[in-house]
Structure 1
Amino acid sequence: MEQKTENNNNQQKTKSFAENFIYELKNFHIDKDFKLFLIVGLCTGIAGGINSTVFNNFLSDVYNLSASGRGIVEFPRELPGVLIVIVLGILSFLGDIRIAVIGMVCASLGMMGLGIFSPTFASMLVWMMVLSLGTHIFMPLSAGIGMNLSQKENYGARLGKFSAYNLVATIIGYGIVWFGFKYLGLTYKTAFLIASFFYLVAAGILTMMKDKKPKGKKVRFVFRKKYTLYYILSIVNGARKQIFLTFAPWVLINVYNLDPPTFAILGLIISLVSILTRTIVGNAIDIKGERFVLSLEAIVLIIICLGYSFAADIFPVTIAVIIIAACYIIDNSLSVVEMARSTYIKKIAVSPEDVTPTLSAGTSFDHIIAMSIPFFGGLLWASMGYKYVFLVAAFIAVLNLILSLKIKID
């Protein structure tokens, strides 16, 4: 029986995504909750793909923000991430899946508000924060739910599978933006409403999953000395990540005038590359470990930061924009490495109940620094140019490498 199961697993690994998807549908009753969770990944992928593709252009076209103004917007956008450890602590009695439902409903309302109820900059900020609250609630919970539906030996592979489904759906989101804006006259309002619909569907699918009741009193807040390295990694990663999230697309928009359809094409390339990298990273976590994966990521990020900084100084404009776009693609393709930090805390956790509150604490620490970095980055851009913003990011990536090399798992 064990040999037969192993053979089936090996056959599953050789299937293409489409073949694997058909197989999952035919055998939906087996591992039902995890398969429902994969559908949630499809819905959030479509919504997230639409949002990430149009949001920066939306800010630029509708509100005419400068680089420093764009940096300031990140403060309210990331504030829910700072507060997420408190929010999840207050809601902990509901269980992870029910809290995730609340997160998806908030995300849906936030996208709807951006599309319909944002005539002024101030009103836009309110709905942006509602959206941010919803996505940040789901952020640590998605990893926790995925690992709760897995075994220790396949945490990486299962999270990688969820990420792959999420990524394929993101491609659909990019396709909606590209085709819609290029051929159908799609507006920002319609795009946000489509994303709102898919977040709402994700909430509905989550209600169909079984939520395990916590045994005894649910742990709300966890701060242990043993998890100090994880907290510091979260802070350093948040600083570097926020520079990329805020200013990498802003360089392409305001310096090289890229429009939403072009960003959709870049997003499509990112997704195609990431389908491969997410599977590789998931397996690498299981085989080589978190220390190897996070250290390698840091080295690649250092190179990317230098590419952002010096491409325009060394090459003509046409080549420089290609290099910066390539850096943008590679950087976004590496976002899946985030799950290595999640599996790291899962493996060193004193008890299983520590995982979700510790992940949420890491998210809050991540966003404390992420909330302020864009403000100072915007000022640095305005006074010295964007090159120096990414030189700071390179320095942070070096710190990330040093810290990643300190990871040890008994």
Structure 2
Amino acid sequence: MEPKVVNNNYDTVSGKKMNRPLGKLWRSFKTDRDFSLFLIVGLFAGVASGINSTVFNNFLNDVYNLSASARGIVEFPRELPGALIVVILAIISFLGDIRMSIVAMLLAALGMVGLGIFSPTFSSMLIWMMVLSLGTHIFMPLSAGIGMTLSKKENFGARLGRYNAYNLIATIIGYAIVGVGFKYFRLTYKIVFIIAAVSYVFAAVFLGLMNPRKPEVKKVKFVFRKKYTLYYILSVINGARKQIFLTFAPWVLIQIYHVDPPTFAILGLIVSLLSIFTRTIVGNAIDIKGERFVLSLEAIVLIVICLGYSFAADIAPTGVAIVIISACYIIDNSMSVVEMARSTYVKKIAVDPEDVTPTLSAGTSFDHVIAMTIPFLGGILWLTMGYKYVFLVAAFIALINLFLTMKIKVD
């Protein structure tokens, strides 16, 4: 008697024939539903993030005409929600990671609407910017926690890499909206901010379709263990270096080289295309080589990038210098994926699985406490000595980061 052959091209629910690609996609969704929904969340969140990251600095420059020192001061209220995130997550932890993420996406949407419609003055802009920042910072530690909850220990890196790759694909759409819209369709900051808000709302909707996974026991609200000390220190050092780049790298391009939103969209597009590959590569490297290798390599590359920002104008004519600085900007932004190595490091050394989200949120808070002061000091340094010295300080911080990452040990 011949064995029965199962036709996998039929939907077992409806009995209708499906073509192979769609059949494979549908089976994957049915067998891994929550992770598939989480990937869709990453798509919508990526579109919104791509729009915001592309136009926000130009928005500040064009609408409010900020100086370098004023731009540094703006980072204090912008990063304040991040500094308080460990307390905020502790207060709303009874909701569980999924429901907290829904709240985060809705706050981000509200903030984008406020920036687009209700920010006639600089002070009102700061309020809506803080609402947006609160939403994105709530989601920051939660996204890694959710991704790892939906994964097995041996494929944390690969699964987070896949989520981040989807997220980066979506930022291409965000960059395209800005680049094409501003250049050919005369889009305004108001319109693109509304588009970003709608994307955040859709992200909240798909989060709502996931299993909320509310914890059966009360979650640990605050976790500070000696075992996590290195992670906390790395968070502080990384936050200092990262904030210099986030605040002043685009400001160099805007203030010194007069780069406009469509050009930033092109740079962002290059970053996204490059990062689609680097995020998967980094995810696999974490699984194969480990967190210490990945984070050490990041630190070395960042030192070179900082030196590029500092000395490009001194060693090359203006046309070449802007290419060098743009290349530094692209490489730095495409390396943001390395953040997941710090997340998987915490997951692997965690004494208790319930420690992961509180510890990641604590790291985010420590990161942002330093991030609130660094831009202010960087702005003063820019005005008194020039922007090159801002990035020389960043190079020194990256060197400290390299020394600390060499101490990482995972059982």
Compute the TM-score of the two structures, normalised by the length of structure 1. Answer: 0.94
Question: Does residue 381 of structure 2 align to residue 380 of structure 1?
Answer: yes
- Post-superposition offset of 1:260: 0.2
- Post-superposition offset of 1:28: 1.7
Preserved CA contact (<8 Å) 2:240 2:371:
yes
Following superposition of structure 1 onto structure 2, how do residues 301-316 of structure 1 map, counting pairs within 5 Å?
301-316=302-317
Let me know the Cα RMSD of the aligned residues: 1.1
Runs of 4+ in 1 over 2 A off after TM superposition: 19-27
The equivalent of 1:350 in structure 2 is 351
Following superposition of structure 1 onto structure 2, how do residues 120-269 of structure 1 map, counting pairs within 5 Å?
120-269=121-270
Query: What letter matches 1:121 in structure 2?
Result: F
Query: What letter matches 1:99 in structure 2?
Result: M
1:272–1:22 Cα change, 3 Å: farther
- 1:161-208 Cα offsets, whole Å, 9 max, x none, are 000000000000000000100000000000100000000110111011
**Distance (whole Å) between structure 1 residues aligned to residue 386 and residue 88 of structure 2:** 37
Question: Does residue 54 of structure 2 align to residue 50 of structure 1?
Answer: no
- Post-superposition offset of 1:24: 3.2
The equivalent of 1:15 in structure 2 is none
SS of the aligned residue for 2:120 comes to coil
Preserved CA contact (<8 Å) 1:24 1:35:
no
> How many residue pairs are counted as aligned between the two chains?
392
Following superposition of structure 1 onto structure 2, how do residues 69-108 of structure 1 map, counting pairs within 5 Å?
69-108=70-109
SS of the aligned residue for 2:119 comes to coil
- 1:112-147 Cα offsets, whole Å, 9 max, x none, are 000000000000000000000000000000000000
1:293–1:21 Cα change, 3 Å: farther
SS of the aligned residue for 1:28 comes to helix
Which structure 1 segments of 5+ residues have no match? 1-18
Preserved CA contact (<8 Å) 1:381 1:388:
yes
**Distance (whole Å) between structure 2 residues aligned to residue 310 and residue 138 of structure 1:** 36
Query: What letter matches 1:27 in structure 2?
Result: S
- Post-superposition offset of 1:27: 3.1
- Post-superposition offset of 1:270: 0.4
Preserved CA contact (<8 Å) 2:97 2:214:
no
- 1:51-97 Cα offsets, whole Å, 9 max, x none, are 00000000000000000000000000000000000000000111000
**Distance (whole Å) between structure 1 residues aligned to residue 102 and residue 154 of structure 2:** 28
Query: What letter matches 1:346 in structure 2?
Result: K
**Distance (whole Å) between structure 1 residues aligned to residue 211 and residue 348 of structure 2:** 24
1:21–1:90 Cα change, 3 Å: farther
Preserved CA contact (<8 Å) 1:278 1:336:
yes
1:134–1:364 Cα change, 3 Å: same
Answer with 1 or 2: which has the greater Rg: 2
The equivalent of 1:395 in structure 2 is 396
1:114–1:23 Cα change, 3 Å: farther
- Post-superposition offset of 1:271: 0.5
Compute the TM-score of the two structures, normalised by the length of structure 2. Answer: 0.94
- 1:271-291 Cα offsets, whole Å, 9 max, x none, are 111111101100000000000
- 1:205-260 Cα offsets, whole Å, 9 max, x none, are 10110021213221111000000000000000000000000000000001000000
**Distance (whole Å) between structure 2 residues aligned to residue 402 and residue 104 of structure 1:** 36
**Distance (whole Å) between structure 1 residues aligned to residue 247 and residue 27 of structure 2:** 42
Query: What letter matches 1:135 in structure 2?
Result: T
Query: What letter matches 1:391 in structure 2?
Result: L
**Distance (whole Å) between structure 1 residues aligned to residue 29 and residue 185 of structure 2:** 36
